[in-house]
Amino acid sequence: MELTKTPLIEAEQIRARVRALAQEIEADYAGAPLVLLTVLKGSLHFASDLQRAMSECLELHLEFIRARSYDGTASTGTVELLYTPEVGFTGRHVLVLEDILDTGRTATSILAHVRAQQPATLRLATLLDKPARRVVPIEADYVGFRIDDHFVVGYGLDLNERYRHLPAIHCLV
Ligand code: IMP
Ligand code: MG
């Protein structure tokens, strides 16, 4: 498989969209302390850029969770939570940051894990959404870009751990 020469989404488009999402999220939470739960590894650049686009007066707690469901370009159908934070989410506003909503299994499993701890509110932000691939019914509260059913890499997304460092999002063909 090869990278398409022209990115599907250019770095500058990502930057602008992530900044807009940060403003929308800030306005919705109206200054309340917020736990940003980053799903590793794919969301690392999304989370990092989103956090740094938020106001310095916000009280943000940065937490991380590690999930795995993919083997190559195929979803395995089972989700492993490999690392879960030790802090509790009870009574806190939690926003989960995903790289991409595909079948929906990963996000569903992470949301269930957090929901079991009774957070004050629980929402989902995803940089990319591939609605055509959904197996489990789930919608994100914040979506960066809706894309067609392509396998994409870059800006955190990988194929067997490759391409995560690319600044733009490319299709693999
Ligand atoms: P889901 O559980 O099927 O929704 O898949 C979510 C996870 O699968 C994402 O967090 C990604 O790690 C991975 N994934 C899904 N689609 C793609 C893709 O097009 N490129 C790279 N990784 C993907
Ligand atoms: Mg992955």
Which pTM was predicted? 0.95
- How high is the pLDDT of residue 61? 95
Least confident of 42-56, 61-75, 155-169: 61-75
C-alpha closest to that of 94 among 113, 73, 69: 113
Residue 148 annotated to the active site: no
Q: Which stretch of DSSP H or E encloses residue 151?
A: none
Question: Closest ligand 1 atom to the C-alpha of 104?
Answer: 4
In this model, does residue 59 exceed pLDDT 90?
yes
What separation, in Å, do the N-terminal and C-terminal C-alpha atoms of the chain show? 5
Question: What percentage of the chain exceeds 90 in pLDDT?
Answer: 82
Kindly report, residue by residue over 125-144, the tens digit of the pLDDT.
999 999 999 999 999 999 99
Residues near ligand 1 with C-beta < 6 Å? Answer: 42, 69-70, 75, 98-107, 151-153, 157
- Could you tell me which residues come within 8 angstroms of residue 136 by beta carbon, excluding any fewer than 6 positions away? 103, 104, 105, 108
- How high is the pLDDT of residue 87? 79
In this model, does residue 167 exceed pLDDT 70?
yes
- Could you tell me which residues come within 8 angstroms of residue 13 by beta carbon, excluding any fewer than 6 positions away? none
Among the bound ligands, name the one nearest to the CA of residue 132: 1
Confidence band of 149 (pLDDT split at 50, 70, 90): very high
Question: How far, in whole angstroms, is CA 25 from its chain's centroid?
Answer: 14
Q: Give nearest CA residue, ligand 1 atom 11.
A: 100
- How high is the pLDDT of residue 83? 81
In this model, does residue 18 exceed pLDDT 70?
yes
- How high is the pLDDT of residue 70? 66
- How high is the pLDDT of residue 28? 96
- How high is the pLDDT of residue 13? 98
